[in-house]
Structure 1
């Protein structure tokens, strides 16, 4: 399980993925997704595995945001939804053993 301070951010990412899939305020939702990813990067010690997972979520989110123009339930949209789900699962797994960054420690964000 991911450390407590990161679970709320993962929940925000999951909500953003749902909103993107539903086409809700795509621009604002992508901003929220990127903001949560940025917070994760700031709160965790630099780790290539986490950075790759963060990039995957960002790219998958952007791809899903582009699907708003396509007919609902197209194969492309289904593939984009699956990519986001896989990217989020990968990020969650990468965060399990992560350590707090100096910023997180100075902010008192206990692990």
Structure 2
């Protein structure tokens, strides 16, 4: 049996995300008229420090006849005082589970791998 455990902590300054802006007055962009009240999404740097923490645990078990069973769990968080309207794009789920079984030598020329994720 193989056990793999990991942890990370990351701290970001000037994290690049998106900000939604509503124009208060009419303007032009590349020669095109932009009406007041138009909604824009632009890339911007966060003015605050953001952090991400997480850990993972994986178990791999070698079974008879070249079968391998695997399972892993990961946990991730993202936090910080975000400016109003700032979109980070951090889309990693907080909890994730994967389970699988495989056999790379089911026959001389045939193998398989099945995984289920949640």
TM-score in terms of structure 1 length: 0.27
The structure whose residues are more often strand, as a share, is 2
Structure of greater relative contact order (alpha carbons < 8 Å, 6+ residues apart): 1
Please identify the structure whose Cα radius of gyration is greater: 2
